[in-house]
Structure 1
Amino acid sequence: MSKNYVQIDPRDNIIVAINPLEKGRVTTINGTEVTLKENIKQKHKFALNDFAVGDEIFMYGVLIGKAVKSIPAGYAITIDNVKHASAEFNDSKEKFTWTAPDASNFKGRTFNGYHRKDGKVGTSNYWLVIPLTFCENRNIDVLEGALSEKLGYETKKDFAVDTDALIKQYKAGASSEEIFNTPIITTKEELSKNRLFPNVDGIKFLKHDGGCGGIRQDSEVLCQLLAGYIANPNVAGATIFSLGCQNAQISMLQDALDAIDPNMGKPVHYLEQQQSESERALIEEAVKHTFVGLTEANKIERQPAPLSKLVLGLECGGSDGFSGISANPALGYASDLLVALGGSPVLAEFPELNGVEQELINRCNTVEDSKKFYNLMRAYSAAAVAVGSGFENNPSPGNIKDGLITDAMKSAGAAKKGGTSPVVQVLDYAEQVTMPGLNLLCTPGNDVESTTGLVGSGCNVVVFTTGLGTPTGNPVAPVLKMSSNTHLYEKMYDIIDINAGTVITGEDTIASMGEKILDHIIRVASGETASKAVVHGNNDFIPWKRGVSL
């Protein structure tokens, strides 16, 4: 890009400042000269022409707001002079055609993954320990303490303390000097080298605050989500804790698993505390079931798989004014490449599709899906209004500070993650991805709730674009963080995997960055490169509650 300012779409009547622009500067856009009337901060926008109160404002070629004050050309677009506005939409779709990008550079490429009996392929190999109700979270903690460090898996810190070595020295009659000379610190790297089960990437403990106390529908959806995690190709099997009296019954989870695939073939062990002779017996049984499950999971080794087996979650969070110009469209190009190769990208965060609904409706392959998307968006919007809010309240203070001042502006940039391909399926929360091609999944805009939902619907890898930085990860799927700007990448290099800021500086095009993203995804999916979120143990897991608490 390497410009000081840019008009993203020829229909746009506001201009993005790529670098800070000083008052008095003369800008030229498509032959039109505009003198800046005030300083324009980097990532923010200025008026290309004069706006009267009520005039419509366009960016990315779509309606993103209306003027609430008169705005002369050359003045900044702010939350004080613009309010949210988005285009109307209906459930009737127009004809849509798509030309796939050239994916020849990836023809014949494979990734090394874990093949499952149901035909899916994982990018990781985990065992899950899951409570059906928050009442069992303490038992989950006990199991984690008994297994994780002892088997060489992650700790809560960057190191583990081997107190047993000091006890052994003391019992042997060691002197104080000998005790002080005894090494007791083991790093995460050293622990991983000593894993008893080298083909198992870890044991993940999915604690949550649901399963009882809310409406029955929330427990049903929770069971569907948990079933999706068990069915995820990155999972080898699971140990399930039930209290016994909660809303989320074992039978409910079993029904949800059968609905996904009654012949999945994964071991799932159910333990109900109210039927156990004691808590001690419950824990003992859980440890033994999990240990035996790990021995079986360890027999699975990585084998080559086609890229069509990749189910790619598309996520963004901590967005800035560059997200919709660099990171999101580059990820969209990678999504289109994956579609051309037979894979399945998944676009979520329905509140952040506000204003581009009609475009997505038109891209749906079937009338049924276009109507389903229409109904989900209308229902979600109505639910937000019913509690005294609305999609217009979506931008966070960080978004606004860095140039995203309306939900429609944020949404138009966020939707770029989905590329340009047809929509093959529209899914409600916790429904499973079953078709190759671009899928739409109804989730909240909340970063962790959305990522949790993406993985629960079958994503085996996630790319998360950000302009401000976030450490978010997931227990089951590797989450690759991609920065929209180089400053963020250099400042938070320890948690960012990919830098799309080179699109802003002109070192990369959207297409070349898109190819780099897909190449990085393949290396992570093969276990050759670990995502920063995995390295740091970011295991964020928040199920979405759609009802009230009773």
Structure 2
Amino acid sequence: MPPAPPSVIQLHAADNVAVAAKTLARGEDFSVGGGAVTAAAEVRFGHKIALTAIAAGAPIHKYGQVIGYATRAISLGEHVHSHNLHLGELHLDYASASETPAPPAPITGRTFDGYLRADGRAGTRNYIAVISTVNCSASVAKYVAHAFDERRLADFPNIDGVIPFTHQSGCAMQFGGDAHQTLNRVMAGIARHPNIGGYLLIGLGCETGAMGYLVQQERLVQLDGSADQPAGAPLILSMQDQGGTAKTIEAGVARLVEMLPRVNDVRRQAIPASEIVLATECGGSDAYSGVTANPAVGAAADRIVAAGGISMLAETPEIFGAEQLLTRRAINVAVADKLIERIEWWKSYVGMFGVQLDNNPSPGNKEGGLTTIAEKSLGAVAKAGGTALVDVLQYAEAPTARGLMVMDTPGYDPASVTGMVAGGANVVVFTTGRGSCFGCKPTPSIKIATNTPMYERMVDDMDINAGEILQGVSVDAMGAKIFEEILAVASGKSTKSEALGIGEEEFVPWLVGPTL
């Protein structure tokens, strides 16, 4: 019979707090490292309990790192949370590129069945995109896309669907400014995404965005890398030039009807696992995100890198307080400096609005046991595994190297994943402790639960239960399971969110700057 699971988990020998592996009753006794502890009050599942007396102002350690400071004296066995812990001022030693790991032992011979595109990239799905260049054409883009339901696509079994990509911007911004350039990267990234077999852009005709500018100039363009677009087919429709809503819908539907046979004319084939571009995300996190699911995703990400692929870590505000773990692993000081610069930018940016990065943990995060942004970030960066950091990307920027990289995105899940997908991610792994029901067409999203109670409660949305780690499954074994699931999903296995049809509304480009 396997041993009973522990009452608490001490994540590092230097930690002065442990995480409750079950709800501890007041007066309940347990031992950690040979020392006896009695719970001074009830400590809920996932919350922290003091393993020693902690003086007021003293640092509190979890993961072997400082997650904040005691706001008052804390006694042995006391619940440690927002009422007696705050972030304070962190003093981080970046030690840039001082601990760059050697490349992992290569994984060879692994493949998935995907779609090989003309530019050499690999798709894991085969969609048609109807892209609105501005919010003014969003409804028309939806009408065009939704004209192609399952019945209409029945004769085209190799097409996964027609997706409208709509958003709330595209105008009232500085031409050539940061917001303009970012939105163009996102739109172009979707149009040339390897999971997109064909696309149509629909604009109003007078918007600021560069694609809108092309509409005004009545020019057709071939977006960089979009060689699969059918020759002679207009990439852009202008509502103003077409004569309004109804005529643009009619023209858009006609263009897609012409496109269907060509997009359908593809077959899956064996493609090396090196063509996986993995986006890693955590949302609705709890205290076990950094104990179970995120480290397991890190183990899977290490396997992707070892196979020659790409793994992206994002959510820069949720790296803050843990960035020293990544700067030390950078391949050189220049890469480390790029990450530090992004952290400093975020500090300045949120300060403009009277906000602090420690405002990031949501009420749900705190209910699940997380307290400070440093604690949340230390768990979040576990998704990065243990390989070298090779680059830091702008939002929606396509990677030019292989290996682990950080993409600068907000912590808000839809905006964060939108950036990574626009950057070319063809599979997403998404960890959640509270229970996030996220999907992100055109890229399949594998949902990983951090704990068994939530997995069982939300089994219709969860693909993998990393809560099994709390029952004795090793992090590495769970990482191997996730790696195999990534290859299976890349080969066409449906995720739970795909089965539920989730993924159209989660396209949320992140834009910084004034709306004019």
TM-score, normalised to structure 2's length?
A: 0.93
Instruction: Tell me the alpha carbon deviations over residues 387-435 of structure 1, each in whole angstroms, 9 at most, x when there is no partner.
Output: 0111100111111011001111111001101101101111011111221
Asked if the contact 1:64/1:85 (under 8 Å) is kept, the reply is: no
Partner of residue 126, structure 1: 127
SS of the aligned residue for 2:479 comes to helix
- Aligned residue among 475, 481, 488 for 1:516: 481
After TM superposition, the structure 1 = structure 2 runs for residues 487-498 of structure 1, keeping only pairs within 5 Å, are 487-498=453-464
Partner of residue 163, structure 2: 204
5+ residue gaps, structure 1, are 153-194
Residue 326 (str. 1) matches residue 285 (str. 2): no
Which moved further from structure 2: 344-353 or 282-291? 282-291
- CA gap of 1:44–1:280, structure 2 versus 1, over 3 A, is closer
Partner of residue 82, structure 2: 79
SS of the aligned residue for 2:290 comes to coil
SS of the aligned residue for 2:289 comes to coil
Percent identical = 37
- CA gap of 1:118–1:258, structure 2 versus 1, over 3 A, is farther
Instruction: Tell me the alpha carbon deviations over residues 226-275 of structure 1, each in whole angstroms, 9 at most, x when there is no partner.
Output: 11111221111210011111111327789xx9998457443471111222
Q: Which amino acid aligns with 2:160?
A: D
Cα distance in 2 between the residues matched to 1:461 and 1:313: 6
Asked if the contact 1:392/1:407 (under 8 Å) is kept, the reply is: yes
How far residue 350 of structure 1 moved from its aligned partner, in angstroms, is 0.6
Q: Which amino acid aligns with 2:149?
A: S
- CA gap of 1:259–1:436, structure 2 versus 1, over 3 A, is farther
Which one has the largest radius of gyration? 1
After TM superposition, the structure 1 = structure 2 runs for residues 148-159 of structure 1, keeping only pairs within 5 Å, are 148-152=149-153
Partner of residue 407, structure 2: 441
Q: Which amino acid aligns with 2:179?
A: D
Q: Which amino acid aligns with 2:489?
A: V
Residue 37 (str. 1) matches residue 1 (str. 2): no
How far residue 89 of structure 1 moved from its aligned partner, in angstroms, is 4.1
Q: In the comparison of the two structures, how many residue pairs are matched?
A: 502
Q: Which amino acid aligns with 1:146?
A: A
- CA gap of 1:16–1:92, structure 2 versus 1, over 3 A, is closer
Instruction: Tell me the alpha carbon deviations over residues 453-492 of structure 1, each in whole angstroms, 9 at most, x when there is no partner.
Output: 1101110010000011111111210011000011111111
Residue 250 (str. 1) matches residue 211 (str. 2): yes
- CA gap of 1:549–1:263, structure 2 versus 1, over 3 A, is closer
Cα distance in 1 between the residues matched to 2:466 and 2:188: 35
- CA gap of 1:351–1:119, structure 2 versus 1, over 3 A, is same
How far residue 451 of structure 1 moved from its aligned partner, in angstroms, is 1.1
Residue 65 (str. 1) matches residue 68 (str. 2): yes
Residue 536 (str. 1) matches residue 500 (str. 2): yes
Cα distance in 2 between the residues matched to 1:422 and 1:62: 20
Partner of residue 136, structure 1: 137
Asked if the contact 1:243/1:274 (under 8 Å) is kept, the reply is: yes
Which moved further from structure 2: 265-274 or 14-23? 265-274
Asked if the contact 2:205/2:212 (under 8 Å) is kept, the reply is: no
- Aligned residue among 45, 48, 53 for 1:50: 53
Partner of residue 176, structure 1: none
How far residue 444 of structure 1 moved from its aligned partner, in angstroms, is 0.6
Cα distance in 1 between the residues matched to 2:415 and 2:512: 11
- CA gap of 1:147–1:263, structure 2 versus 1, over 3 A, is closer
- CA gap of 1:285–1:466, structure 2 versus 1, over 3 A, is same
Residue 525 (str. 1) matches residue 486 (str. 2): no
SS of the aligned residue for 2:328 comes to helix
- Aligned residue among 361, 367, 371 for 1:401: 367
RMSD over aligned CA atoms reads 2.1
Cα distance in 2 between the residues matched to 1:55 and 1:269: 61
Asked if the contact 2:68/2:87 (under 8 Å) is kept, the reply is: yes
Cα distance in 2 between the residues matched to 1:122 and 1:263: 13
After TM superposition, the structure 1 = structure 2 runs for residues 208-227 of structure 1, keeping only pairs within 5 Å, are 208-216=167-175, 217-227=178-188
Cα distance in 1 between the residues matched to 2:349 and 2:44: 36
Cα distance in 2 between the residues matched to 1:421 and 1:443: 21
After TM superposition, the structure 1 = structure 2 runs for residues 297-336 of structure 1, keeping only pairs within 5 Å, are 297-336=263-302
- Aligned residue among 433, 445, 468 for 2:434: 468
Cα distance in 2 between the residues matched to 1:312 and 1:40: 36
Residue 422 (str. 1) matches residue 394 (str. 2): no
After TM superposition, the structure 1 = structure 2 runs for residues 161-172 of structure 1, keeping only pairs within 5 Å, are none
Partner of residue 17, structure 1: 20
Instruction: Tell me the alpha carbon deviations over residues 311-350 of structure 1, each in whole angstroms, 9 at most, x when there is no partner.
Output: 0100010111111100000000000111111111100011
Cα distance in 2 between the residues matched to 1:53 and 1:546: 40
Asked if the contact 1:51/1:70 (under 8 Å) is kept, the reply is: yes
Instruction: Tell me the alpha carbon deviations over residues 190-238 of structure 1, each in whole angstroms, 9 at most, x when there is no partner.
Output: xxxxx12111111110111110124443232111111111122111121
SS of the aligned residue for 2:235 comes to strand
How far residue 30 of structure 1 moved from its aligned partner, in angstroms, is 2.3
- CA gap of 1:259–1:546, structure 2 versus 1, over 3 A, is farther
Instruction: Tell me the alpha carbon deviations over residues 483-522 of structure 1, each in whole angstroms, 9 at most, x when there is no partner.
Output: 001111111111111110100111x100110000011111
Asked if the contact 1:20/1:39 (under 8 Å) is kept, the reply is: yes
Asked if the contact 2:9/2:19 (under 8 Å) is kept, the reply is: yes
TM-score, normalised to structure 1's length?
A: 0.87
After TM superposition, the structure 1 = structure 2 runs for residues 165-180 of structure 1, keeping only pairs within 5 Å, are none
Asked if the contact 2:23/2:44 (under 8 Å) is kept, the reply is: yes
- CA gap of 1:270–1:345, structure 2 versus 1, over 3 A, is same
Partner of residue 266, structure 1: 229
- CA gap of 1:110–1:49, structure 2 versus 1, over 3 A, is same
Cα distance in 2 between the residues matched to 1:151 and 1:435: 40
SS of the aligned residue for 1:71 comes to coil
SS of the aligned residue for 2:254 comes to helix
Partner of residue 546, structure 1: 512
Instruction: Tell me the alpha carbon deviations over residues 73-108 of structure 1, each in whole angstroms, 9 at most, x when there is no partner.
Output: 11010111101246434766142242566676xx42
Cα distance in 2 between the residues matched to 1:516 and 1:121: 22
- CA gap of 1:207–1:37, structure 2 versus 1, over 3 A, is same
Q: Which amino acid aligns with 1:227?
A: A
Which moved further from structure 2: 244-253 or 197-206? 244-253
Q: Which amino acid aligns with 1:535?
A: A
